[in-house]
Structure 1
């Protein structure tokens, strides 16, 4: 067949298309995994938490518009009609139309404006709190995925070592240096490592799947290995998102309590309108302007329930703030201890790994020289493998400890 036949040309096009598709997939797979802040933003968008901030801002804006109104409440129209039609039927009647305007008492408008400002501030602190809370969830998901992947990597290396050993044992069996039982033991070790690798790989895939479900991101962020602030302190920072939101909640409750106290007397009502009367049929119609002012007494017994309810909410918010402060302080102490414990565990794991590595090197050399049996070699290899796994996990736990400390300090990735 001619090399330039349509069939050959079509095959070449398909090959080039496959090559281009492969390059695109490779480029997509090796693209930047993004940042921790982007993962947090994506998680917030997926859960729709930011709608709470918008709703709180809308409430504050509505309260502000209400406080800027010329009247203190909803105006009303009052119409009254009197007639003698059902009694004397002499044509007498009276029409009255009044517009009722609730008025502000001194301090009431200011109290509502203060509530509006407090709600706006709470919306801003709520945005920070939601991002901080999501940062904690994303951090834990990231490090769970990294730790399980570390176990899977170590299990894969152990499997490769077991297969290499089984190959060596098979060669020595063929040469007559080892017995058949040694080959069976070596291949049994390969099966054990395969089971461990399969289990570790499934755990890693599940952890990564949970991270993807939380954030919608396919890969872990590049900057997940965080650094702690240089000016590290054992004290809770004053701008901690949890405490800022708690302070703003207390502020809103305080302003609402002040509003309830300012409105204990109610609102005076100014009524403006006209009155049209006629004494008898054929008589002249009289029109007059009418002005009324209704002032409530403001009895303490009537306003006491609303004031007491506002006082209760304020007390609950203040108590909740104190409870949150104690909780945040305890979490910061635990994070500091966790970081110190992780550092101490790493030092121990390094010494253990070094000792296990030297012991395994000696036993492996003895096995190669025929001075040690396979069981002794496998036992030394298991100890070395366990030490390697422990060391790798302790190293990864350093990053998780730093991430948890940053979370306890209120550090939010941007």
Structure 2
């Protein structure tokens, strides 16, 4: 047997270094930082545009509520004469007026408070969307990196099985190996080829999904963030972390907007009264022209038929906002615990899989060497290679997930690294 062919990866090379070599080979230029990637996604995020329009609208409503009157002026006019009655005595009347609705006591300031509270709520919703977008970028970037590591592992496995299949074919032709072993080696190589094709498909899909999110065909370099960033981060108490979470802040501002709306509903206990000026210009039979000027007012009286639905809707809105705030606090508290535990578990998994990958690489090399010397069967050598590939992929996945958990912890503290 020919002993010159050696495995592509030496036993001393960890799977993390193998992943780094592959990433550098596939990406000629270094990818953007995670912070830059989030900025790319934020610049083209459609939800951000929608929320900004809503914020501007709420601010405009707050400014409009500072008007002296509760609405725009109303113009009225009348024209009457006696010609349609079949007479021509010269009775002609022109009448016109203008009136404006008045604020009820405290209604104007309550309207401003509602609009301002809604604008503040949308401000926090922007922060919530930015946080959610950061997590989406993180997950998409991690999926792309893991998919590329799967391609890397599949390449290594295919190279190893192809090398063993070539040696087995020569051995079969030389009468040194049974044909069934040659068929086994060819089947292993074809399975590795199929795995490589599937891995390349997954990598392309992950890359396309990330490009749609970022607007650029790049993969963020999340490997630069790790335990040192978490260690040096300025942590605060868990309670303060929860209170500063934008999801809780948004829910709290929604409650404030609902409370302001309840106050406005109480202030709007009746339709707005109107006051205005009328002018009359008329001509009567046998009399000179007559002009008159006067005031007019209209005061609709309160009605339970009108007020009850308004108050009911305001109460329902406040109850819903209060319930959502309670649910948001519970959800954020649970998520904080999960993020912390995920980081602890990811740290352990990273260390364990790295050691396991190194050991499985050594075992695969030893089994292949023993097979070439006739001291081990082919199926054992192939199984060792497959097991080494699976462990190496688990190692690369654990390494990416550790970086993801570190960044997720930083995001939970209110920092986008």
Moved more, 55-64 or 178-187: 178-187
Task: Find the counterpart in structure 2 of residue 61 from structure 1.
Answer: 59
Q: Tell me: CA distance 1:113–1:234, structure 2 relative to 1, closer, same or farther (3 Å).
A: closer
Write out per-residue CA displacement over residues 257-313 of structure 1, whole angstroms, 9 at most, x where no aligned residue. Answer: 2222212133221111223344x4231233232023333433444322212212211
Task: Find the counterpart in structure 2 of residue 75 from structure 1.
Answer: 73
2:280 alignment partner, SS class: strand
Aligned counterparts of 1:179 and 1:77: Cα–Cα separation in 2: 104
Write out per-residue CA displacement over residues 165-186 of structure 1, whole angstroms, 9 at most, x where no aligned residue. Answer: 3444456667765455544433
Task: Find the counterpart in structure 2 of residue 348 from structure 1.
Answer: 352
Task: Find the counterpart in structure 1 of residue 8 from structure 2.
Answer: none
Q: Tell me: CA distance 1:118–1:205, structure 2 relative to 1, closer, same or farther (3 Å).
A: same
Task: Find the counterpart in structure 2 of residue 263 from structure 1.
Answer: 268
The yes-or-no answer on 1:127 pairing with 2:126 is yes
How do 1:10-409 residues align onto structure 2 when only pairs under 5 Å count?
30-83=28-81, 86=85, 90-169=89-168, 178-223=177-222, 226-227=225-226, 228=230, 229-231=233-235, 234-235=238-239, 236-278=241-283, 280-407=284-411, 409=412
User: Unaligned regions of 5+ residues in structure 1, if any?
Assistant: 1-28
Write out per-residue CA displacement over residues 150-179 of structure 1, whole angstroms, 9 at most, x where no aligned residue. Answer: 121111112222233344445666776545
Q: Tell me: CA distance 1:94–1:384, structure 2 relative to 1, closer, same or farther (3 Å).
A: closer
Moved more, 136-145 or 83-92: 83-92
Mapped contact 1:356–1:384 kept (Cα < 8 A) = yes
Q: Tell me: CA distance 1:224–1:392, structure 2 relative to 1, closer, same or farther (3 Å).
A: closer
TM-score of the superposition, structure 1-length normalised?
Answer: 0.81
Q: CA RMSD in A?
A: 3.0
Q: Which has the higher contact order (CA 8 A, sep 6+)?
A: 2
Aligned counterparts of 2:343 and 2:133: Cα–Cα separation in 1: 21
Query: How much does 1:64 deviate?
Result: 2.5
Q: Tell me: CA distance 1:172–1:266, structure 2 relative to 1, closer, same or farther (3 Å).
A: same
Moved more, 205-214 or 177-186: 177-186
Write out per-residue CA displacement over residues 37-91 of structure 1, whole angstroms, 9 at most, x where no aligned residue. Answer: 4433444454522331232133223312321222211211222345556388644
Aligned counterparts of 2:297 and 2:122: Cα–Cα separation in 1: 39
Write out per-residue CA displacement over residues 190-212 of structure 1, whole angstroms, 9 at most, x where no aligned residue. Answer: 22222222222221122112212
Query: How much does 1:143 deviate?
Result: 0.9
